Chains A and B, each alone.
Chain A
């Protein structure tokens, strides 16, 4: 759970920084070259398998953990109030994770599969022809506004997930120390706000400013 979770965080950071190329004012050339590289480079393709495995293991262990924890309390309390000092985020990791999962599947259908199967709009960059992923991203965000809304909503839930998840992973691994734990918690809050916010700027940009 903790290891795959942190691995997925590292993916988010790379993915976000790549996607920021959308903001280069070069008609999407940099983004298209980047998409091409990410989808064809052998090393990246191998890492992609690792990423898929990371997601599957994370989701599978989350499922096992949730089942086990449910089984540990077969009869519920009539009144339950032990949550006063406990964050909503920490109690609803399954909910936030599941919504992120639904989003991920729609996200792959929208952007990942078109590159590999079907989508065939090309652009010419310095004499070579590349799939025009930039235009795909721009049209999806603009024309399918419901997708943009879902995207932003999913980022809010991803933020909730990381709000607890990032620091929790360190505690699970036993990495707790008077000096470093406050730093880890601060970093967790920073990442959980900035990373989803960075992703969420993209649909907003294409919906309103492009």
Chain B
């Protein structure tokens, strides 16, 4: 086990309206087996002992499945590894490093406090069509609804999106297309999703635009930073779904 001393430059912003700034903190004796969030817990205990306001950051499961943890670390969403921040370990850093920690930056993700942003824009996009509204009843026979292995795999890959928002944070246009496309594609590929397929593509894209996200210019930064490795093929599929729906749906 190694211990390290670090300098942290952290975005501090008391509330949504206040003007924030980067503040510097020294922290010592960090164990390299700690996760990044545990390192921040240590910092917050120090701050509390000194009667200072602890740094607010999002987290929940701490096992890489809920998508709560965020943080742009040294300019990359979730830091130097392609994983979630809770799964990032301090061994990815060296003794004496300076680490910059900032919130997701997007107009559609306003800062609530410090490093915590409001990601309810994603919820509203989901509410606008990211579901199947028919009641599915009790479990059917496994092979009642045959789905090809490749399609099932692809739909599953899309479904692994945890809605963390790293795609938005990484994109130079703060575009949410990777997230929205994963949600649209997942259901477009499965038989259960067919009934609302066109309506879903139209309303989810409309909600995405209304939230103020940017538009995709296909740089691929989103996919490169996505902890679940959602592929850009989803975005092409969403474009296809959307263009097709716009051309053929009954909604005028």
Contact = CB atoms under 8 A, between A and B. Distances in A.
B154 to A, nearest CB: 11
B219 A86 contact: yes
A105 interface: no
B106 to A, nearest CB: 6
B225 interface: yes
Nearest to B21: A78
Given A174-B243, A175-B236, A68 B215 contact: yes
B233 A176 contact: yes
A93 to B, nearest CB: 7
Interface residues of B, number: 44
A82 interface: yes
Interface in B194-215: 212-215
Given A71-B107, A82-B224, A90 B239 contact: no
**Counting chain A CB atoms within 10 Å of each CB, which of B105, B175, B219 scores highest?**
B219
Interface stretch (A134-142, A145-153, A164-172, A200-208): A164-172
Given A82-B75, A85-B220, A86-B220, A72 B239 contact: no
B72 A91 contact: no
Given A76-B105, A77-B105, A69 B215 contact: yes
A79 interface: yes
Interface residues of chain B: helix, strand, loop or mixed (majority):
mixed
A24 interface: no
Interface in A28-81: 65, 68-69, 71-81
Contact of B102 (A74, A79, A167): A79
Given A71-B107, A73-B107, A168 B22 contact: no
Contact of A93 (B215, B217, B225): B217
A82 B225 contact: yes
Contact of B219 (A74, A75, A81, A87): A87
A74 to B, nearest CB: 5
A129 interface: no
Contacts of A128: none
Given A69-B173, A85-B221, A168-B217, A75 B105 contact: yes
Contacts of A81: 74-76
A147 B77 CA distance: 45
Contact of A174 (B11, B105, B239): B239
Given A171-B232, A171-B235, A176-B236, A78 B102 contact: yes
A82 B105 contact: no
B168 to A, nearest CB: 9
Given A93-B217, A171-B239, A74 B107 contact: yes
A76 B104 CA distance: 10
Contacts of A84: 76, 224
Interface of B: 9, 11, 22, 72, 74-77, 100, 102, 105-108, 169-175, 212-221, 224-225, 232-233, 235-243
20 contacts: A72-B106, A72-B107, A72-B175, A73-B105, A73-B173, A78-B102, A80-B75, A82-B76, A82-B171, A82-B225, A83-B172, A84-B76, A84-B224, A171-B239, A172-B239, A173-B243, A174-B236, A174-B239, A174-B240, A176-B236
